[in-house]
A and B are shown apart, each in its own frame.
Chain A
Amino acid sequence: MSVLSVSDIGISFGGLKAIDGVGFSVEAGEIFSIIGPNGAGKTTLFNVISGLYTAGQGRIELGGQDVTGLAPDELAARGLSRTFQNLQIFQRMTAVENVMVGRHLREKCNLFADLFRLPSVSRQNATTRDAALALLDEVGLRADADKLAGSLSYGACKRLEIARALAAEPRVLLLDEPAAGCNAVETEEIDALISRVAKKGVAVVLVEHDMKLVMKISDRILVLERGCPLIEGTPQQVLADPAVLEAYLGKHGAREAARA
């Protein structure tokens, strides 16, 4: 049974349809990629699935339960986690604190216990910090644990977001362009990291412009064009489809590419 199932999603901004009739489903441990030209609606689709936008139509199921229209924090509690294309890190907190916030739902949080810093709070804090450090290790940021997140490089922030998203121990992980702005070595690391995460049984939905990365690690790919689904299939099927080439290069470019 699929962990995440999205059907017939549609959303418009001021009469303009940004997404129209998009649907897909992802199994546990699968890497499902969504690709498409700039402005195709990939980020918007993530925003709908994670509850930041309310879709005009469609249905979203998480673990078989209807979660359409739920708020982001409720979705998080049901096992959905994500990263952002335009970084959303907690700049004035240290790297390890960023990841600790990711464990918010796994922590007991009581205002009075925290104000008086009861022994249980200190104990829990130590556990949370250890878990966060292990995740920073996993994304290669262990040495930067106590640096302010705002002082980290772009590529480091991207990986910090992944660590924070993983801290919630999600069932479904949405990654919006995790390799953007990363050099070749960093991209390799992210590639390996995503594969490891999926192996642990997390359903990964990946939006990424780096085609080499996408073709290498994806189990299935959905191509979007101007908010509409173009084709869904394995990397081979997608690569072989002339409509995909056309969407990326335009009619003229596709003809050129076919001739070449």
Chain B
Amino acid sequence: MPRWVRHRYASLVVLAVVIALLPLLFPSSYYYRVAALVWVSALAAIGLNILMGKAGQVSLGHAGFFGIGAYAVAIGPTHLGVPPLASLLIGAVLSAALAYLVGRPILRLKGHYLAIATLGLGVLVALVITTEIRWTGGPDGMPVKKLVVFGWRASGADTWYWITAGMLLIGTWLALNLDDTPTGRAFRALHDSEIAARVAGVHVDRFKLQAFVIAAVYASLAGSALALMNGFVNPDQAGFLHSVEMVTMVVLGGLGSVIGSIVGAAVLIMLPQALTVFQEYEHLLLGFLIIVSMIFMRDGIVPMLAKLPGRRA
């Protein structure tokens, strides 16, 4: 195996090349849109993977943070006159603050208990969004004003392809950076043995909280990007099903693998598009494929490919 494959940023370079060349294969602007959806989902999944794959803590309510980001760029400009970009940042800060406040008590819980507590958090956010009709439009959702930066209007599928790709590249770069640092090692250590990590002097509670906040900010930014791109938000984006979808992307692509999260997102976004030919059996088939791949690729797609003979990751 060539040496460059082992380099920290090898996958980042591959991703950049794919992003740059992919549009050459696109026959229509519809493909730009699907790809942009993949980049947005992948961004959220990478954040969640830092929490789940690295630090080993589950969150079944992560769409809540996605929803906060999405509704921040909807509500800010429409109701409060805050510019979209500032609203995006406010959304990220709010998500971080909520993750910090709620994370303190619930990250002491383990396994199933943590899963239920995070699920409750997600349900709560979704509930607020559907009931505060005056602010959010309730179950119908609400329109989102176009992103305007210094007089330039971000619109069109191709424009959003490049914006979301840029966000994904930055998100990937940060996640890859973390791996071989004291923080990244602390995450992975507490994942494998909390006791040994504590005894080594690792502030386990603090690092769990950091991972939770990072994951919340990633999800929030992804939510903002999707809302600005679509020009519309609806409560499903903060809903339980979306949380489950995010977890599936992470696990399917490979826990702990940054590139895995992108692959997982790509599979989960593109497969339904490919399966539409099966019409009413689409969802059935999707569920079936996920089950089968989890049976035969328990470690996830990317770690499994990396283990194939003659290769090591």
Contact = CB atoms under 8 A, between A and B. Distances in A.
Contact of B200 (A76, A114, A117): A76
B199 A72 contact: yes
B196 A90 contact: yes
Chain B residues touching A, range: 20 to 34
Contacts, number: 99
Interface in A43-68: 50, 52
Contacts of A114: 177-178, 181-184
B192 interface: yes
A71 B193 contact: no
B33 interface: no
Contact of B177 (A108, A109, A115): A115
A99 B12 CA distance: 28
Contacts of B203: 73
Contact of A90 (B180, B183, B192, B214): B192
A107 B182 contact: yes
A104 interface: yes
Contacts of B210: 111
Interface in B173-189: 174, 177-178, 180-186, 188-189
Contacts of A93: 185, 188-189, 192
A257 interface: no
Nearest to B255: A92
A73 B193 contact: no
Looking at chain B's contact residues, is the secondary structure mostly helix, strand, loop, or mixed?
A: helix
Interface in A101-135: 101-102, 104-105, 107-111, 113-117, 121, 124-125
Interface string B184-218: 11101101110111111111100000100010000
A225 B214 CA distance: 50
Given A114-B181, A121-B181, A101 B189 contact: yes
A114 B189 CA distance: 16
Given A84-B196, A88-B195, A125 B180 contact: yes
Contacts of A97: 185, 188
Interface in A74-92: 76-77, 81-82, 84, 88-92
A81 to B, nearest CB: 7
Nearest to B56: A92
A164 interface: yes
A259 B44 CA distance: 75
Task: For the complex of A and B, list the 10 residue pairs with the smallest distance between their C-beta atoms, beginning with the closest.
Answer: A76-B201, A114-B181, A88-B196, A105-B201, A109-B182, A117-B177, A90-B192, A72-B198, A114-B183, A88-B193
Interface of A: 50, 52, 71-73, 76-77, 81-82, 84, 88-93, 97, 100-102, 104-105, 107-111, 113-117, 121, 124-125, 164, 168
